[in-house]
Amino acid sequence: MRGGKDYSRREFMTKPLVYLTSAGLLSASRRLWAAKAVLTENAPNSGEIIQRRLGRTGVTLPVVNMGVLNADIPGLLVRAYELGVRHFDTAPNYQAGRSEEMLGNFVKEHGVRDKVVIGTKVLLSPEIRKAGAAELKVQFLKIFEGSLRRLQVDYIDILYSHGIDNATDVNDPRVLEVLAELKKQGKIRFPGVSTHSGQDKVLKAVAESGFHDVVLVAINFTMSENKPLLGAIKNAAAKGVGLIAMKTQAGGGARTPMHPRGSRTASARPPRSGGCCSTKPSPPRFRAPTQKTRTTSSFPS
């Protein structure tokens, strides 16, 4: 590690847990440690990571990926990569931009840009949505260029229109024009949509239009009886749409009368301000050291 101090592997593995506890992220760490078992369970050969194709993109990824919403310790990215994770999902409003900065630092320091798939997002406020085409394009590109700068890359693998909950916004011609232009310029590889509510309608619109290559969709055990959503997922997959699951742990809580089976979350806790779809960035819950880190572990290809 940099910063004038060398860490043993034991310290590297245990000290982040202390930080996670203080930040309220211990459950996320446990999921990360469980990732190795999920990545290799039922694989054809012992220890072989399970891979699946992401729809018509042609990209093949491990079945477990990492959302970097609340992961604010750089060592977690290092360990996730060592376990076999190759897709990292972030957004400019996660930790007030710190999430993208941390991911960008990791990718650049370890020289793994060609080995990982980066997904980030553009969240347009209702005010921007009401603006004219020219102003919307200016604001969209401003958000996008900020992500490129924080991630220290010249292209994004998957760029999502963030927090879409209706078919109209899926097919907003102003947004589609900007995304098509960015793809033509080589600044994005695949346009996508992320959706937290109205998901069956969003998925149907994406499948019918054929423009977006990927949908980031909330799916977990609380939705096991949501037939419209499950049917929309099946239909989108059949049309070649790449599907990535989020909210897979259902918030870590038990169902309550307020959140019955089939609801989007199983947690009775009120949403945090500046959450994943807020247009106002939330401050980091834990500020990691500013110095860059480096691991002595070799990185597999």
Task: Supply the residues annotated as catalytic.
Answer: 94
- Alpha carbon distance, N-terminus to C-terminus of the chain: 21
Strand, coil or helix: 215: strand
Q: How many other CB atoms sit within 10 Å of the CB of residue 295?
A: 19
Query: With b meaning 16 or more CB within 10 Å and e meaning fewer, what string describes 223-255?
Result: beebeebeebbebbeebebbbbebbeebbeeeb
Is the Cβ–Cβ distance between 113 and 145 less than 8 Å? no
Q: Distance between CA atoms of 139 and 4, rounded to whole angstroms?
A: 42
3-state SS, residue 45:
coil
Q: Please state the φ and ψ torsions of residue 62, each to the nearest 5 degrees.
A: -60, 155
Residues 183 and 189 sit within 8 Å (Cβ to Cβ): yes
Backbone φ and ψ for 159, nearest 5 degrees, come out as -115, 115
Of 91, 151, 118, which is closest to residue 278 (Cα–Cα)?
A: 91
CB atoms within 10 A of CB 197: 13
Tokens describing residue 72: 């604010």
Closest CA to 292 of 7, 74, 45: 74
Closest by Cα among 108, 144, 104, 101 to 123:
144
Contacts of 232 (CB under 8 A, 6+ apart): 199, 200, 201, 203, 204, 207
